[in-house]
């Protein structure tokens, strides 16, 4: 059995190799270790191995784990990567360091209100669905490049979100549909990147630096297509 340290270093090597293939600096890619459905010990082991960025997809599960890890909380950067219900936005705004899954104007407005109660602006990503897969949440941007209405409607929401004083929009997050061949994810990642580039032209006061995309099965393709954050669970922590 491989140890977590071995799996983590193998993942880091694959990240670096993918970055080099794309003429990118490996240091520009953040690795978030996804510990959903893993015990608290997995987070402790990640910390011991030098992985401090942790992703969870459920507010309640993350809350329970963080109370068990209170002494280590300051050493962790905690990312919310799963769909957020508005009734959990208050808890999420205080618990997480970054929310990847802002998928509606209404959620952004509610998160902004609650983020106001904490001191800093809450870093967020806008989750976009560019593949049209019905099961994926996210702003609907299927065929945005050929459907001006789809893009304009999104931009109207983005304009309002960027005006919210307590959120700091850092970029986009997307999930590619699962498929046996990671190459199938490439056009999805490419569409997300082009969308980011397009938003950066339309809203130049925002940096739009981050693209959170790529998981165990497709992170190398995501990096080749411009991911700045990859969210990896199974390749580091084993099957759930």
Ligand X SMILES: *Cc1c(COP(=O)(O)O)cnc(C)c1O
Which chain residues interact with ligand X by CB under 6 A? 34, 36, 57, 81-82, 175, 215-217, 231-234
CB atoms within 10 A of CB 111: 25
Q: Are 33 and 53 a contacting pair, CB within 8 Å?
A: yes
Q: Which two tokens stand for residue 4?
A: 């977590």
CA distance 88 to 167: 16
Nearer to ligand X, 151 or 214 (CB): 214
Q: How far is the CB of 134 from ligand X (least distance, A)?
A: 16
Closest to ligand X by CB, 113 vs 234, is 234
Widest CA span of the chain, in angstroms? 52
| Nearest residue to ligand X, by Cβ distance, number only | 233
User: Least distance in Å: CB of 119 to ligand X?
Assistant: 27
Structure token pair of residue 22: 């794309």
Element (DSSP H or E) covering residue 131: none
Residue with tokens 């004083």: 165
**Closest distance to ligand X from the beta carbon of 174 (Å):** 9
Task: Rank residues 194 and 234 by Cβ distance to ligand X and give the closer one.
Answer: 234
Output the smallest distance, CB 21 to ligand X, in A.
20
Q: Which is nearer to ligand X, 83 or 91 (CB)?
A: 83
């Amino acid at each position: 059995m491989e140890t977590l340290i071995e799996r983590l270093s193998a993942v880091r090597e694959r990240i670096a190799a993918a970055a080099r293939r794309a003429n990118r600096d490996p240091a520009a890619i953040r690795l978030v270790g996804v510990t959903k459905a893993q015990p608290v010990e997995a987070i402790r082991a990640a910390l011991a191995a030098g992985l401090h960025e942790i992703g969870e997809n459920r507010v309640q599960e993350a809350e329970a784990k963080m109370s068990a890890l209170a002494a280590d909380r300051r050493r962790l950067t905690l990312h919310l990567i799963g769909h957020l219900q508005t009734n959990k936005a208050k808890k999420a705004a205080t618990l997480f360091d970054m929310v990847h899954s802002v998928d509606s104007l209404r959620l952004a407005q509610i998160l902004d209100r609650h983020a106001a109660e904490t001191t800093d602006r809450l870093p967020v990503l806008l989750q976009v669905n560019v593949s049209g897969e019905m099961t994926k949440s996210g702003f609907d941007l299927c065929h945005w490049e050929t459907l001006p209405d789809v893009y304009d409607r999104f931009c109207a929401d983005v304009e309002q979100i960027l005006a919210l004083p307590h959120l700091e929009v850092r970029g986009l997050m997307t999930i590619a549909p699962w498929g046996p061949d990671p190459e199938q994810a490439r056009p999805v990642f490419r569409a997300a990147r082009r969308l980011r580039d397009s938003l950066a032209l339309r809203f130049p006061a925002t940096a739009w630096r981050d693209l959170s995309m790529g998981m165990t099965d497709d992170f190398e393709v995501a990096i080749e297509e411009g991911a700045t954050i990859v969210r990896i669970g199974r390749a580091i922590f084993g099957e759930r």
